[in-house]
Structure 1
Amino acid sequence: MTTETYNQALLTLALAGIEAINTSASQHKSVRTPAQESHFLCNWMVESLKTKRFSKLMADDLTTWISQARSQGAGAQLKRLLTCIADQYQQANNSTIATGAGLKGLLAALTEQKWVVITDTDIDVKLKLGSDGQSSIVISAKQFNQHIVDDKIVKPISMYIRGDEKLVARLALEQGLLLSQANKKTSLIKHHKTYMLMPSNLHPSLCLLCLDLY
């Protein structure tokens, strides 16, 4: 028996939500306002959570989105969120670029953007990078050399980043990669945040989304 992954559960939910709101919209003659769309999706999520329609892997995300919709109304932009999730997770799923090759492509793209890119130093203790404020990305040499086999990421890779995370997420997606959300507490490089890359893009929680594309 194959265990459902977080990615599969998330994509199933996002596509179902989009279908539900599109079906509802087709049944109404007037165009719905963003506030009405948010209200509809919030109620749909509440019902889905109550009836356990989706995997229990989705319980925390649904709870968070329901709370945001109740406090922010249209500002929660639930339709935009679900559309973004569906598009980007499907793009990563359909990518023909191996994850290890994708990482190398990402680093090459950041180098072109004049970022400081460091992959030749082992990172075992907290360090400070003197780059005069220049955007930078650091990956421990040990992980870079040992966690990529036959152009595929086979073990988690930590990336320490200082710079525009939206740019990194967009460039990563172009290479078929999904990044974890930022984590300040685990960073070993001062003024940098930790982002993770996972084998087969199988993150245990929602990845960093390129919401600015929608």
Structure 2
Amino acid sequence: MTTETYNQALLTLALAGIEAINTSASQHKAVRTAAQESHFLCNWMVESLKTKRFSKLVADDLSAWIRQARSQGAGAQLTRLLTCIADQYQQANNSVIATGTGLKNLLAELSTQQWLVITDTDLDSKLKLDSDGQSSLIISAKEFNQHIVEDNIVKTISMYIRGDEKIVAKLALQQGLLLSQGNKKTSLIKHHKTYTLTPRNNHPSLCLLCLEQY
């Protein structure tokens, strides 16, 4: 018996939401406003949560999106959010690039964009990096050398990043990689945030999305 992952549960939810909004739109002659779409999806999510239609793994996401829709209305942009999730998670799923290879390609691309990339230093305690404001990405040498086996990420890799996370997320997605959300509290490098890469992109919560593309 195969246990459903968070990614699978999230993608199922996103695709069902998109199908629901498209079906509803096809049944109405007039074009719906963004506010009407948000209201529809909010009600759909409330009903889905109430009936436990989807996995418990995405219950917190549903609750958060419902709160956003109720407080922000059209500003919650639920249709855009679900479309982004569906597109990006499917893109990662369909990638033929090995995750370890994808990470190395990502680092090479950031280097060409004048990022400071460091992977040859072990990180065991909190440090400060003097880079004169240059965007930087640091991975402990131990993780970089041991958590990639036969071109695949086999254990979680922490990346400490100072710079535009949108750029990193976009370039990572092009390599079939999903990044976690940034966490400043867990960072070992001052003024950096921790982002993680996981085997097979199996994150336990919503990844960092490239929403500006939608």
Question: TM-score range, shorter-chain basis?
Answer: over 0.9
Counterpart of 1:2, as a letter, is: T
**2:106 maps to which residue?**
106
Give the secondary structure class of the aligned counterpart of 1:196: strand
Residue 2 (str. 1) matches residue 2 (str. 2): yes
Give the secondary structure class of the aligned counterpart of 1:137: strand
Give the secondary structure class of the aligned counterpart of 1:106: helix
Question: How far did 1:40 drift?
Answer: 0.3
Give the secondary structure class of the aligned counterpart of 1:14: helix
**2:160 maps to which residue?**
160
Question: How far did 1:167 drift?
Answer: 0.3
Question: How far did 1:71 drift?
Answer: 0.2
Count residues with an aligned counterpart.
214
Counterpart-to-counterpart distance in 2, 1:178 and 1:168: 10
**2:206 maps to which residue?**
206
Counterpart of 1:66, as a letter, is: I
Residue 81 (str. 1) matches residue 94 (str. 2): no
Query: Structure 2: where are the runs of 5+ without partners?
Result: none
Give the secondary structure class of the aligned counterpart of 1:144: helix
Counterpart of 2:138, as a letter, is: V
Question: How far did 1:7 drift?
Answer: 0.3
Counterpart of 1:61, as a letter, is: D
**2:47 maps to which residue?**
47
Give the secondary structure class of the aligned counterpart of 1:161: strand
**2:190 maps to which residue?**
190
**1:20 maps to which residue?**
20
Question: How far did 1:191 drift?
Answer: 0.2
**2:127 maps to which residue?**
127
Question: How far did 1:166 drift?
Answer: 0.3
- TM-score, normalised to structure 1's length? 1.00
Query: Structure 1: where are the runs of 5+ without partners?
Result: none
**2:38 maps to which residue?**
38
Counterpart of 1:103, as a letter, is: L
Counterpart-to-counterpart distance in 1, 2:48 and 2:112: 45
Counterpart-to-counterpart distance in 2, 1:208 and 1:66: 19
Give the secondary structure class of the aligned counterpart of 1:105: helix
Counterpart-to-counterpart distance in 1, 2:107 and 2:183: 20
Question: How far did 1:84 drift?
Answer: 0.1
Identity within the alignment, %: 84
**1:148 maps to which residue?**
148
Question: How far did 1:43 drift?
Answer: 0.2
